[in-house]
């Protein structure tokens, strides 16, 4: 790998810890009770008063979520670079699933978070705002984004974990930590700062994987190939 390739790989490595911090911060800052799919008028009328009282906070958490999901898409591609031999096809599939899922998640987050904040702070009645939110959520693009997001959200970490396990380029416990950490982080409700505690396994896994990617960029290509040929300690 030449100097340019190594510099790009280091940039990709940085995305992992930054993404983890953004993801955890978005969950921690999200106002309690607003992380719901607005499938009906009753749900919309329930979350609108909460959103109206915390519109600035909701805008901030929604923006962080968008950045985190964009970073997650890049992170999947970066992690796939660790799988060069055994499992490279699986890693490629995982990166594709993760990237498409994260992109769909960003679209869904606009509907659930940003649109909710906008509707709550707009000068309209709550029933009109509720109708707008329900109509937006039940649109065809929103339904497609929802289905693709949930498929990628839960399938991609498992598929990437299998690829990392098979590659033997990272300790197998790290592959398990990545899967469990990300699955837990994705399932976290908006519960305030306590969410940071439950996100720690994900943050730790991303930092450790970033260190591996950075190491691969620092080592000469031939030396890294020799290192990758030796199974990592489990």
- Would you say residue 234 lies in a domain? no
- Whether residue 216 is contained in a domain is answered as yes
**Position 50 in a domain:** yes
In a domain? residue 233: no
In the prediction, which pLDDT does 227 show?
Answer: 45
Give pLDDT, residue 14: 94
Q: Are 37 and 146 in contact (CB under 8 A)?
A: yes
- H or E segment and range at residue 137: helix 126-137
**Is residue 166's pLDDT more than 80?**
yes
Closest Cα partner for 152 from 110, 182, 189, 191? Answer: 182
Q: Tokens 């990300």, residue?
A: 182
CA-to-CA distance for 228 and 205, rounded, in angstroms?
19
Separation in Å, CA 116 to CA 99, 162, 199: 25, 37, 25
DSSP for 172-210, written as a single string? HHHHHHHHHHHHHHHH--S-GGGHHHHTHHHHHHHHHHH
Q: Is residue 159 part of a domain?
A: yes
- pLDDT over threshold 60, residue 234: no
The residue segments making up the domain with residue 189 are: 3-228
Kindly report, residue by residue over 193-213, the tens digit of the pLDDT.
888 888 999 999 999 999 999
pLDDT in tens, 15-59: 999 999 999 998 888 888 777 778 788 888 888 888 888 888 888
For the chain, how many structural domains are there in total?
1
pLDDT computed for residue 2 by the predictor:
67
Statement: residue 3 has pLDDT above 90: no
In a domain, 212, yes or no: yes
Tens digits of residue pLDDT in 106-163: 888 877 777 788 888 777 888 888 888 888 888 888 888 889 988 998 999 999 999 9
């Amino acid at each position: 790998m030449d100097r340019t390739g190594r510099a790009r790989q280091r940039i990709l490595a940085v995305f992992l810890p930054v993404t983890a911090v953004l993801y955890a911060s978005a969950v921690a800052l999200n106002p309690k009770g607003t992380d719901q799919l607005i499938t009906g008028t009753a749900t919309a009328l329930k979350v609108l008063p909460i959103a109206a009282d915390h519109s600035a906070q909701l805008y901030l958490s929604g923006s962080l979520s968008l950045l985190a999901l964009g970073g997650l898409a890049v992170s999947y591609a970066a992690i796939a670079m660790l799988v060069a031999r055994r499992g490279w096809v699986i890693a490629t599939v995982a990166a594709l699933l993760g990237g498409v899922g994260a992109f769909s998640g960003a679209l869904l987050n606009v509907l659930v978070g940003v649109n909710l904040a906008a509707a709550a702070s707009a000068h309209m009645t709550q029933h009109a705002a509720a109708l707008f939110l329900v109509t937006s959520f039940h649109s065809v693009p929103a339904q497609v984004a929802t289905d693709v997001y949930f498929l990628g959200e839960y399938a991609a970490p498992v598929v990437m974990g299998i690829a990392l396990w098979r590659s033997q380029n990272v300790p197998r416990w790290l592959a398990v930590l990545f899967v469990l950490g990300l699955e837990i982080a994705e399932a976290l409700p908006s519960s305030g700062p306590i969410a940071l505690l439950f996100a720690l396994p994900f943050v730790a896994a991303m930092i450790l994987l970033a260190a591996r990617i950075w190491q691969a960029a620092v080592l000469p290509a031939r030396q890294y190939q020799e290192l990758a040929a030796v199974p990592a300690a489990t």
